Amino acid sequence: MSNGNSGSSERRRSQTSQIAQAYRTAHEILSSALALGLFVGAGYWLDRKVGWTPALTICGACFGFIVAGVSLRALLRRLDQESAQKKAKKARSRESQSE
């Protein structure tokens, strides 16, 4: 006994999933930016504490860029894999419809 709402329910679930993915992606980007800011801030704070004016800020910025870069690279890999999976799924569905 299925009612006519199953298509609507699947569409709603798909939209919810897309929104969740968008939030996940935004979270990963913001986390990368925060990591960069925190490392620069920590370097600046240590510079003020120790008195090595530009050195630790520069080190913190470099380390922050590395951490943010690694995080963003992982994000891009995940998005690329998801895109490839969607394309493969579409191709399979087209093949099954054409048969």
pLDDT, one tens digit per residue, over 18-39 is: 889 899 999 999 999 999 999 9
End-to-end, the C-alpha distance of the chain in Å comes to: 29
Measured distance CA(9)–CA(6) in Å, rounded: 5
For the chain, what are the domain ranges?
31-98
| Residue count of the chain | 99
Q: pTM of the prediction?
A: 0.74
pLDDT, one tens digit per residue, over 40-92 is: 999 999 999 999 889 999 999 999 999 999 999 999 999 999 999 989 988 88
What phi-psi label fits residue 98: left (phi over 0), alpha (psi between -120 and 50 degrees) or beta?
A: alpha
